[in-house]
Amino acid sequence: MLSQTVEYALRAMVTLAYHPDDLVSTPELAEMTRVPSNYLAKVLQTLAGADLIIGRRGVGGGYRMAKSAEEIKLLDVINAVSPVTRITECPLGLDNHSEHLCALHRRMDQAAAGVIEIFGTTSLADIIQGEDGPELPLCDTRQAQEVQQVRVQKPKSE
């Protein structure tokens, strides 16, 4: 339902939420999120244009969030990249659909409404805090590997 670009934008924002005070370079962010660097650079420019992140060029530059993780809703990120729209009239332009949507378009509109509701009420902070306490970044494979190594090295209790 959501495009790959939206997925990449969400990964980037969640990862930046784990590093709220740091400037994270595009190559570092690309590695942590497993997003191609050139593609990610374009996504980051879009997010900066939507005032969700702030970029600094040059040596030691990178990106950081423009607002706190509590203030940024997932829907803000989605809409910056590929806005979710409700279906208010027949997308086919059929006259007999003018007053009421057909069953298919009603369902599609309900799905869009659900996306708006869920992602509009979920902040980046909700994602990084998790239901059972702080979680690892979704796609930070380096940290995930470190955690996996620690788990493997723990002696089994007998």
Residues 59, 79 contacting (CB under 8 angstroms): no
Q: What is the pTM of this model?
A: 0.79
What is the reported pLDDT for 155?
47
Q: Identify the pLDDT of residue 150.
A: 40
Q: Residue 33: pLDDT above 60?
A: yes
Structure tokens at 49: 């244009």
Residue 61 has pLDDT above 50, yes or no: yes
CB atoms under 10 Å from CB of 116, counted, come to: 16
Name the range with the highest mean pLDDT among 64-68, 136-140, 146-150: 64-68
Is the pLDDT score of 55 beyond 70?
yes
CATH number of 4-141: 1.10.10.10
The domain spans of the chain are 4-141
Burial of 92 (0-12, 13-18, 19+ CB in 10 A): exposed
Is it the case that residue 58 has pLDDT exceeding 90?
A: no
